[in-house]
Chains A and B, each alone.
Chain A
């Protein structure tokens, strides 16, 4: 009995504390919407009304006017890849932002010859603070026309582009791919310029490949003209644009998973049926003890 009482007490304390932590404790994980720190995407999400979600059904169902941002840090299964192909095929805009993740899986599934190099793109001259923050000033006229002067990347890679793709941004000729991670240019390492943003039409949709997802994070989104660039990318979808960042392929901490689960629960509770059920359950729980007391009273009489 004492153990049961202890367990009950622990549950009574831990559950509310956990719930409060899940709801109010901010995430510190990369690319999380609830992360207000330098590596979250809260600013981007708020400013551009971009939903960070793992449930992409409504976007996949209505590809036209939808922009889906993929940050592929978790591998895809074949069904997920098929969904993306169908999304683009039906007129959706897919922005694949990757550096050292699984972006090539997506590009290959779309039948693209583009690929993410996977080697760090460093620039010892045109960079912010140090060579890991390349500044990209070689931009396509359509970006320049929007007043975009340069992009600032953060630990990026490059795109290997073979084929009729629209090159939208390239690194400088002092940049190089640091294949041996020595942080200096070695004789055999390729020198720039390298493509960092390219786009192509696939069926009825558009695919934009960006070789650095970090331009979305709070500390980068307003650096250089990264924000304007993302605004342009989101404007690629015609009509009333809906923007979503696919959170299902981001690496998550346990807190983020808990937040996500809570989000799902809350979403489900939002439906009228769920609310009726919930009210019914609460009423039942409240009234059962009273019914029992009433029964005992009757028996006593």
Chain B
């Protein structure tokens, strides 16, 4: 019945709890106030490269747009000003480069119109502009280096995304510097030309330059031929130097040959971008200054080809410290030819973990260090560029955790102290039984340990001792401390009934001894003397009924009126108890007792109530007993004794 009731109650509780308790489900978002800060240095450096590309294209609006993004960008606070200053300088630099180019074009145009004074005016401040541009470039270089230091690019491994991004920034900074140098040369040449034009009254001959690039599409690393003609009117200019710009910065210088033609071969850099732009420019140098005007060819775009590589990884979701993590990978080249080999760098949380060479598929066992932290780790495989084959990378997250072994133990249900207890069991994990693992069993202050055997089993003998408690439950805790770093320490516990057999025996013995001693003492003790009652009016009718001592005190010594009245009441009380079988309990007041008994006494009930009230007044007030009251008490008592005597006679 009780079990059924419990079951019903539990079921009801479970049903109700299921209805009201909140349950949090898998969340499609995270708390933005507690989300971790994660910054990406490669992304920030990528923005630097974008800004530098915009500078090369003289597009200050694009740099301004990038600068506008800074307040929303995920940048460490200590780097925010650095990034802002880099982009601010970039924007100014792009503007200045644009201005210089515009001034050069205008100056050239005015010289062609033989307006040296206007040309001079147009070219004014070019050197200052260049100085300012170099100053901005200096700021950008400085900020780029600071950014690199902030992300510790120096300690980043070769091939890492951060290192590559930083290299890209440095490469672009060098190109911008080369552009400024070129602009400086052109500016100088223009200045000289204007000087000659003004001083010697010469007429400058305009030039025109063409550029043809073949083929229109080429693989990275391949060379493309550039050719064109430099003319001044109908005259082919021979022996003049033409600079070829690749994506805005000077890539090579060629000289024109007979017929004004020039020809050269440029190797496309290993930049895996879809397109590169080529342009040829001519500006007068040496004796040409004061004779010819500079010119530039239209930009020619060339499609850049390369083999895409796709890397697919098969990485277990979880790993264990000290064990190998088996990773399978596939390098896919589509319909392209598979290369002889590819160099693959493996990064664990951004640090170089290992390198290998592979072709198409690979399977590698990565030995995770025993001290690998138990967390989610980033594993990245980076395939280096190799000729026409573009670099690629793939990454995965690996949750590193320890395996918690299972302890199965066989324990006694009760432990008798101080006997030795034997605990047996087995420890295993999904990898199999745990061998030579230290197992410790602790019960209160007693502890023992032993290693597991080859099959993971253990047998512990736990020596117990004496304690003060006699009986109770105690927790037995068995702990396994595996030596393998991939296994977590585990523990299992059981609640055991501990019976202190020795203690119980001792206490029992002591109690028995105390009882025996007490019995002997009682037997030897003399019985208290009975005080004779000297006053009538009636003899004690039934001596075997004992009156409650605390309520009606015994009369002692010389008998006063009070003692006489009390003695009479005691006798009356004995009679009432016998007749009514109502026992006077310690909790009863005399009045309550009288009220309880009165209905059973019939006509004597009233007398008993009256007598009781008299006695109460005598006992609990200052009122002393007077002669008439003693007489009345005797009278009231007589009513009872007469009835008692009458009863005896009838029997």
- Footprint of B on A, CB under 8 Å? 2-3, 6-7, 10-11, 14-15, 17-18, 21-22, 25, 27-30, 38-39, 73, 99-101, 123-133, 135, 137, 150, 152, 154-155, 172, 174, 180-184, 186-188, 213-214, 217, 219-220, 223, 251, 253-255, 257-258
Contacts and interface: CB of A to CB of B under 8 A. Distances in A.
B30 A137 contact: no
Contact of A219 (B31, B37, B73, B396): B31
Contacts of A258: 19-20
Contact of A131 (B13, B30, B38, B380): B38
B311 to A, nearest CB: 7
A101 B29 CA distance: 13
Contacts of A22: 19-20
Given A126-B74, A186-B393, A18 B16 contact: yes
Contact of A183 (B44, B311, B397): B397
Interface in B31-55: 31-33, 35-38, 40, 42-44, 46-47
Contact of B395 (A30, A137, A182): A182
29 contacts: A7-B9, A7-B12, A10-B13, A14-B13, A14-B16, A25-B20, A28-B22, A29-B22, A29-B23, A29-B25, A30-B25, A30-B27, A124-B74, A125-B69, A126-B73, A126-B74, A133-B32, A154-B32, A181-B397, A183-B378, A183-B395, A187-B308, A213-B28, A214-B28, A217-B29, A219-B33, A255-B23, A257-B19, A258-B19
A187 B16 CA distance: 52
A254 B18 contact: yes
A155 B394 CA distance: 21
A150 B74 CA distance: 14
Contacts of A186: 311, 393-395
A187 B161 CA distance: 12
B310 interface: yes
Given A38-B33, A130-B35, A135 B22 contact: no
Nearest to B41: A124
Given A129-B74, A150-B72, A253 B24 contact: yes
A10 B394 contact: no
B96 to A, nearest CB: 26
B41 to A, nearest CB: 9
A29 to B, nearest CB: 7
A251 B22 CA distance: 12
B147 interface: no
Given A18-B19, A131-B38, A253-B21, 5 more contacts: A10-B9, A22-B20, A129-B32, A155-B29, A183-B397
Contact of B8 (A7, A25, A182): A7
Interface residues of B, number: 51
Contacts of A253: 21-25
B27 A184 contact: no
Contact of B22 (A100, A130, A255): A255
A154 B74 contact: no
B531 to A, nearest CB: 56
Interface of B: 1, 4-5, 8-9, 12-13, 16, 18-25, 27-33, 35-38, 40, 42-44, 46-47, 68-69, 72-74, 161, 308-311, 378, 380, 392-397
Contacts of A128: 32, 72, 74
Contacts of A38: 31-33
B394 A187 contact: yes
Nearest to A155: B29
A155 B5 contact: no
A255 B8 contact: no
B23 A254 contact: yes
A30 B392 contact: no
A251 B167 CA distance: 48
Given A11-B12, A174-B43, A183-B378, A129 B19 contact: no
A126 B395 CA distance: 21
Shortest Cβ-Cβ A-B pairs, 5 listed? A124-B40, A130-B38, A214-B29, A124-B43, A125-B43
Contacts of B30: 132, 154-155
Nearest to B24: A28
Contacts, number: 165
A184 B20 contact: no
A21 B22 CA distance: 10
A187 B20 contact: no
A127 B22 CA distance: 32
A2 to B, nearest CB: 7
Contact of A187 (B28, B68, B392): B392
Contacts of B28: 30, 73, 99-101, 155, 213-214
Contacts of B29: 30, 39, 154-155, 214, 217, 220
Contacts of A7: 5, 8-9, 12
A10 B12 contact: yes
Q: Which of B1, B42, B74, B396 counts the most chain A CB atoms within 10 A? A: B74
Q: Which of A39, A123, A186, A213 counts the most chain B CB atoms within 10 A? A: A186
Contacts of A29: 22-25
A12 B308 CA distance: 72
Q: Which of B16, B31, B44, B393 counts the most chain A CB atoms within 10 A? A: B16
Contacts of A99: 28
B19 A255 contact: yes
Nearest to A224: B72
Per DSSP, are chain A's interface residues mostly helix, strand or loop, or mixed? Answer: loop
A297 to B, nearest CB: 31
Contacts of B33: 38, 219
Contacts of A135: 72-73
A73 B40 CA distance: 32
Contacts of A180: 394, 396
B578 to A, nearest CB: 43
Contacts of A133: 32, 35
Nearest to B310: A188
A15 B393 CA distance: 60
Contacts of B20: 18, 21-22, 25, 254-255, 258
A124 B162 CA distance: 13
Contacts of B31: 38-39, 219
Given A174-B43, A174-B46, A125 B73 contact: yes
Contacts of B37: 129-130
Nearest to A27: B22
B311 A187 contact: yes
Contacts of A155: 28-30
A223 B44 contact: no
Nearest to B380: A184
A126 B36 contact: no
Nearest to A20: B20
Nearest to A261: B19
A230 B68 CA distance: 24
A286 B227 CA distance: 108
Given A3-B1, A10-B12, A186-B394, A254 B19 contact: yes
A100 B38 CA distance: 23
B8 A137 contact: no
A186 B381 CA distance: 10
Nearest to A156: B29
Contact of A130 (B9, B25, B73, B74): B74
Contact of B32 (A17, A181, A223): A223
Contact of A184 (B13, B16, B68, B395): B395
A11 B16 CA distance: 10
A133 B33 CA distance: 11
B219 to A, nearest CB: 18
A129 B35 contact: yes
A124 B8 CA distance: 56
Q: Which of B38, B40, B394 counts the most chain A CB atoms within 10 A? A: B40
A228 B5 CA distance: 58
Contact of A3 (B8, B13, B38, B308): B8
A251 B8 contact: no
A44 B152 CA distance: 43
Nearest to A257: B19
